[in-house]
Amino acid sequence: MRTVRDLKIVRALAAHRNFARAAKDLGMSQPSLSRALARLEDTIGVPLFERSRTAVNPTAVAEIVLERCDPLIAGFEDLARAIEEHRRQGSDEFRVAVGPFVAESVGLAAFAAHTAKRRRPAGRLIVRDWRTCLRELEEGHCDLAITDVPSAEEHADLETEQLFDAPMVIFCSAQHPLAGKNDPTLPDLMRYPWAAPLMQGRYLANIPSELGAAGRIDPETGDFVPAICADSFSAMTAAVRNGRAISAAPLAFIRDDLNRGDFVVLPFQEPWMRMSYGLIWRKGRAWSRSLSDFVDTLREVLARTELGQATPGKEPPIAVPR
């Protein structure tokens, strides 16, 4: 074992007992994982896993590694974070991970406004699904995340500040079979593919267990994976505009499409259909001045939007545009 990556390979394979799932967990291709394991076994001179057509099982040597790997990996990651934090002290560099909705509504505009104010921009904005945002934050790959607040509250090492909380509406194209239906039910909605980013498993408690064409459950995480799992809001709306997909968003996001007659809002509303986004950061982590300035700009931009002017929990009933 020469690197922390070697330890992570052994741990992932032992946890998943499957090359494809372990490779996904490690963020690498299955052939790359197979080659890396072969090189590792050649280096130490003994097999770490017994492979068959149906299973991947750790050998006694792998069990020795597994007994010791967790504190070693944690120690290495803590060291890497400490070095990174030291490097960033006094630096204006920052990296912010944002969810697809907030990128569309305010993130990109705020980042552009922040960059325009500075002679030497030093920040980077990346768009990720909510789970990747939180993972990159915890692993120290970004300084701030702007994504789903309820998901972050499950992590004891993270702090949050809500930016907006808004009800969502279900929408489809004006030519969709459901567009003229006055009383669609949840089973009706499940008959069509949903176009959305990766969704939290908590939503599954409110929809039928038979997901139909809407999507599937990720067996590893329990997340709801929509049939059209989009990584940007524009990809979601393109799927709705050009096919039989349906989607959901706060009304402010699709106001222009509704006014043009491209989309219609379906007359279906439930209390659980809400979006709560906010700032998320690691406890005890100080922000650079540049990051603080970006957040100030973000708040200013948000305050000028329909989302920023809404009062959480006190919205008037949603008027369904037709």
pLDDT in tens, the chain (322 residues): 678 889 999 999 999 999 988 988 887 788 888 888 998 999 899 999 998 878 899 999 999 999 999 999 888 888 877 766 665 555 568 899 999 888 887 888 888 888 888 777 678 888 989 999 998 888 888 999 999 999 998 788 899 999 989 899 999 999 999 998 889 999 999 999 999 999 988 899 998 889 999 999 988 788 999 999 988 889 999 999 988 999 999 998 899 999 999 999 999 989 999 989 999 999 888 888 889 999 999 999 989 888 877 544 444 344 444 4
Structural domain boundaries of the chain? 4-87, 90-165+275-309, 169-272
Q: Which two tokens stand for residue 128?
A: 């990720």
CATH topology of domain 169-272: D-Maltodextrin-Binding Protein; domain 2 (3.40.190)
Q: Nearest to residue 281, comparing CAs of 96, 15, 28?
A: 96
Residue 178 has what pLDDT?
94
Please report, for residues 139, 179, 241, 250, 265, the alpha-carbon distance to residue 261 in angstroms, rounded to integers and kept in the order given.
44, 11, 11, 17, 11
Q: Write the CA distances from 313 to 226, 240, 268, 271, 295, integer angstroms.
A: 27, 28, 18, 11, 24
- pLDDT for res 244: 92
* β strands within 59-108, DSSP E: 94-98
Q: By the 8 A CB rule, do 236 and 196 touch?
A: yes
**Of all residues in the chain, what percent are helix, strand and coil, respectively (each to 5)?**
45, 20, 35
User: What pLDDT score was predicted for residue 315?
Assistant: 46
What is the pairing mode between strands 94-98 and 123-127?
A: parallel
**Cβ atoms within 10 Å of 298's Cβ, excluding its own:** 25
The packing angle between helices 4-16 and 19-26, to 10°, is 140
**CA gyration radius, the chain:** 23
Residues 6 or more apart whose Cβ sits within 8 Å of residue 95: 123, 124, 126, 141, 142, 143, 144
Contact criterion met (CB below 8 Å) for 57 and 50 = yes
**CB of 1 closer than 8 Å to CB of 32:** no
The reported pTM is 0.69
The token duo for 70 is 């967790």
Task: Give CA separation, 99 vs 7, 69, 73, 208, 211, in Å.
Answer: 31, 32, 28, 26, 24
CB 86 within 8 A of CB 286: no
* Nearest residue to 2 (alpha-carbon basis) of 42, 52, 58: 42
Q: Angle of helix 60-88 relative to helix 4-16, nearest 10 degrees? A: 130
Instruction: State the pLDDT at residue 283.
Output: 87
CATH domain 4-87 topology = Arc Repressor Mutant, subunit A (1.10.10)
Q: What local confidence, expressed as pLDDT, does residue 85 receive?
A: 67
**321, 265 Cβ separation under 8 angstroms:** yes
pLDDT of residue 78: 81
Long-range contacts of 314-317 (CB under 8 A, 24+ apart): 315/166, 315/167
Q: Which of 169, 179, 184, 193 is nearest to 315 (CA)?
A: 169
Q: Same fold for the domain at 4-87 and the one at 90-165+275-309?
A: no
What pLDDT score does 58 carry?
A: 93
**CATH code assigned to 90-165+275-309:** 3.40.190.10
